[in-house]
Structure 1
């Protein structure tokens, strides 16, 4: 029997203020659509079962803690090219 991906959550509320990469369950996904999506940005808040991530484009993603399947901190973004 082949093994599937091994997801691990390696972030905590102590990582607020750091850049994170999350794999998030998409409960609304329909048959044939991906069941997960990725979110990358600065973890701004983690309380009351929700995480708030500020993306580079200025948008904010609010994710339910129970929908996070994997997560880790990542290095700061590279400097913008001229």
Structure 2
């Protein structure tokens, strides 16, 4: 059996397929082999979950920017509290 037709893959290959899948570059068979691997490999399931989370956060950033005046006030309060502690 050739390496290309192998159903069971190593964690290294599964992570590579996961990365390709993240960017929509994985072939159908790579996705199948990845999913079979994820059934029995907890570490790769976690890697895949983290990859999906990263992709979601990058594609839909909901960053809330703090107003400069509030930020300055927070710094001032922090410095005051730190000087009280010493």
- TM-score when normalising by structure 2: 0.24
- TM-score when normalising by structure 1: 0.25
The structure with the largest strand share of the pair is: 1
State the structure with bigger RCO (CA 8 A, min sep 6), 1 or 2: 1
The structure with the largest helix share of the pair is: 2
